[in-house]
Amino acid sequence: MVFEDLLRAVGDEPVFETGLLLAGDVDRRDVERQLSRWTASGRLLKLRRGVYALAPPYAKSAPHPYLVANRLVPGSYVSLQSALAHHGLIPEHVPVTTSVTPGRPARWTTPLGTFDFRHLKRALVLGYERVPLPNGQSALIARPEKALLDLVHLEAGTDDPRALAELRLQHLDGLDVAWLRRQGRRSSPKLDRAARRIERLADAERSEYRSL
CA trace torsion 25, 27, 33, 38 (10° rounding)? -10
- In Å, how far are 35, 109, 140 from 40, measured between CA atoms? 9, 17, 31
**Does residue 131 fall inside a structural domain?**
yes
- The answer to whether residues 47 and 74 belong to one domain is no
**Does residue 60 fall inside a structural domain?**
no
- The answer to whether residues 23 and 44 belong to one domain is yes
- The answer to whether residues 91 and 186 belong to one domain is yes
**Does residue 178 fall inside a structural domain?**
yes
3-state secondary structure of 91: coil
Q: Which of 21, 131, 15, 110 is nearest to 62 (CA)?
A: 15
- The answer to whether residues 33 and 79 belong to one domain is no
- The answer to whether residues 179 and 117 belong to one domain is yes
**Owning domain of residue 25:** 3-54
pLDDT per residue of the chain (212 residues) written in tens, 0 to 9: 789 989 998 988 999 999 888 877 778 888 899 999 999 999 999 999 999 999 999 998 999 999 999 999 999 999 999 999 999 999 888 999 999 999 999 999 999 999 999 999 999 999 999 999 999 999 999 999 999 999 999 998 888 888 888 888 999 988 999 999 999 999 999 999 999 999 999 988 877 766 65
- The answer to whether residues 114 and 169 belong to one domain is yes
- The answer to whether residues 113 and 38 belong to one domain is no
**Does residue 59 fall inside a structural domain?**
no
- The answer to whether residues 173 and 121 belong to one domain is yes
- The answer to whether residues 38 and 117 belong to one domain is no
Residue 136's pLDDT is what? 93
**Does residue 117 fall inside a structural domain?**
yes
The angle subtended at Cα 122 by Cα 116 and Cα 123, nearest 5°, is: 130
**Does residue 41 fall inside a structural domain?**
yes
- The answer to whether residues 29 and 104 belong to one domain is no
The residue among 19, 35, 54 that closes a domain is 54
- The answer to whether residues 109 and 139 belong to one domain is yes
- The answer to whether residues 135 and 185 belong to one domain is yes
**Does residue 76 fall inside a structural domain?**
yes
Number of domains in the chain: 2
CB-based burial label for 104 (10 Å; 0-12, 13-18, 19+):
exposed
pTM of this prediction?
A: 0.92
